[in-house]
Amino acid sequence: MLPVIDAANWYETVRMGDGVTLIHEPWIKPFFRCNIWHVRGRDRDLLFDTGLGHFSLRRHVPLVTERKLTCVASHTHFDHIGCHHEFPDRCVHPAEADILADPRNEWTVADRYATDAMFDGMPAGWDATRYRILQAPADRLLEQGDVVDLGDRAFEVIHTPGHSPGGIALYEKKTGILLSGDIVYDGPLIDDVYHSAVDDYVETLLRMRELDVAVVHGGHFPSFGKVRYRQLIEEYLAQKRRAGCHLQVR
């Protein structure tokens, strides 16, 4: 029998340096646990993804209510957009804007993954059969090369199709910080959900592998540096090469 966890003990925040804070849900198993990234800026803050959404992020994590905030979806799978409806300034790539506005379980892959098996501790009131994400239409659409401006910090949008068609990462050239979403993290990379595309995944990683990163804060699992970043990309490409995928590796 799993312990039952109340809302007050559901979230944890961990300061990572350079004004970046990890917000996560430690009672969710690592494979399913979304890393929610908060970045402090001069004029406004950035929130990159919002987790499962069973418990309110605004009500239980004071950090996200202290200042004006831009809320960006790395993509629209359920574990990343659960609390987007709580924030008024919402951004997403156009390829997944319809899903954010109408996040049906079959479109957010909640129908496949949002089960009791996700948890090491059961959130109070959880019922997998009743889990739904609330609608959160975007206020701004982000495309390749757009900039999320925090006043003293600027994050460039990198379109990262592959895991999903509208995936995005955010890159701060000044610090080398990459908020990568689910396109690259230090764990099993997923390219087999209903709107994944392996060819797009390969092309995205080929395009990203020479990026001058200092630290990568992924959508899941712990953060890592430049060497591990290149290793993870090369491992994925090698795996697809062995599987017979047609890679034009430069």
Q: What is the pLDDT of residues 67-101, one digit of tens each?
A: 999 999 999 999 999 999 999 999 999 999 999 99
Q: Average pLDDT in the 50-77 region?
A: 98
SS3 94: helix
Closest CA to 15 of 23, 7, 27, 25: 23
The length of the chain, given as a count of residues: 250
Q: Judge whether residue 248 has pLDDT over 70.
A: no
Query: Where is average pLDDT lowest: 61-65, 83-87, 246-250?
Result: 246-250
User: Strands of 154-159's sheet, edge to edge?
Assistant: 147-149, 154-159, 168-172, 177-181, 215-218, 224-225
Q: Judge whether residue 10 has pLDDT over 80.
A: yes
Q: Average pLDDT in the 124-144 region?
A: 98
> What is the predicted pLDDT for the residue at 250?
46
pLDDT digits (tens, 9 = 90+) for 180-209: 999 999 999 999 999 999 999 999 999 999
pTM for the model stands at: 0.96
CA distances from 229 to 59, 72, 174, 237 (A): 35, 22, 18, 13
pLDDT digits (tens, 9 = 90+) for 219-231: 999 999 999 999 9
Query: Where is average pLDDT lowest: 4-13, 190-199, 229-238, 241-250?
Result: 241-250
> What is the predicted pLDDT for the residue at 148?
98
> What is the predicted pLDDT for the residue at 243?
87
Three-class SS of 97-147: HHHHHCCCCCCCCHHHHCCHHHECCEECCCCHHHCCCCCCCCCEECCCCCE
Average pLDDT of the chain is: 97
Is 4-238 a domain of CATH 3.40.50.970? Answer: no
Percent of the chain with pLDDT over 90: 96
List the end-to-end C-alpha distance of the chain, in Å, as a whole number: 51
- Joined tokens for residue 134: 């609330």
> What is the predicted pLDDT for the residue at 246?
56
Q: Judge whether residue 244 has pLDDT over 90.
A: no
